[in-house]
């Protein structure tokens, strides 16, 4: 959708620019000054419409992207553009992701028992556990 708006907006602005060029060429050949009459209103309106369409296109391109959960499941956000204002609903995304913003208070990597964790992995993978 946003791409279509970008294209339409750009075409409108280019067309308005070319129309303005042609208008000034016409004034030159008829020896009129552009300050006498100014740009025709249809060109001004075309420029304004083109800008509005471009802005709409850029706003609609701001979408919340999909994300990957810890279990490699692609999660599509429930809301396309903005998160819900209500916190209880906004946090639903973290539960789908299986990582919440307060997870580090629970995981506490600085206190990891690295030796035991390595033993657990070695046991699982069938490696020899070297006692030090």
Partner 1 sequence: MTLLKTKLLKIAKSGVFQDFTPQQLSETREEILSLGTDGLTTVEVYTLLELQFYISLLTNHDVEAKACLDRLVDQFDTEKSQRIKLLQSLYLEAVAGDEKKATDILCRDPDEMNLSRRLTSFSRKRANGSESFINNLIFYLDLNPSDLKSWGELGSQYSKVGNYEKSVYCYKEILLREPFAYNIFYLVGLEYYHWFLQADLNNNNKDKKDKVLEAVELLSQARNHFLRSIEISESYKKGWEGVYAVSNVKEFNDRIGGKWGQVKEVKKFLADGDKLRELSKSKIESI
Residues in touch with partner 1 (CB under 8 A) = 65-70, 72, 74, 87-89, 91-92, 94-100, 102-115, 117-118, 120-122, 124-125, 127, 132
Q: Is residue 64 within 8 Å of 83, Cβ to Cβ?
A: yes
Give the shortest CB-114-to-partner 1 separation in angstroms. 4
> What is the C-alpha separation between 119 and 109, in angstroms, rounded?
17
Tracing tokens 């789908």 back to the chain, one arrives at: 96
Q: Nearer Cβ to partner 1, position 39 or 92?
A: 92
Q: Nearer Cβ to partner 1, position 34 or 61?
A: 61
Give the shortest CB-54-to-partner 1 separation in angstroms. 26
Q: Nearer Cβ to partner 1, position 55 or 129?
A: 129
At 128, list the tokens. Answer: 């020899």
Give the shortest CB-116-to-partner 1 separation in angstroms. 10
Percent helix / strand / coil, the chain, rounded to 5: 60, 5, 35
Q: At what angle do helices 2-29 and 41-60 cross, to 10 degrees?
A: 160
């Amino acid at each position: 959708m946003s791409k279509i708006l970008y294209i339409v907006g750009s075409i409108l602005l280019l067309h308005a620019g070319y129309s303005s060029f042609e208008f000034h060429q016409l004034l030159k050949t008829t020896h009129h000054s552009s300050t006498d009459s100014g740009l025709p209103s249809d060109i001004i309106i075309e420029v304004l419409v083109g800008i509005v369409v471009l802005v709409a296109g850029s706003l609609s391109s701001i979408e919340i992207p999909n994300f990957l959960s810890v279990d490699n499941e692609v999660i599509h956000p429930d809301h396309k553009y903005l998160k819900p204002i209500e916190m209880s609903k906004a946090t639903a995304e973290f539960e789908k992701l299986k990582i919440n913003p307060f997870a580090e208070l629970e995981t506490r990597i600085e206190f990891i028992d690295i030796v035991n964790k390595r033993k657990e992995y070695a046991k699982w993978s069938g490696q020899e556990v070297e006692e030090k």
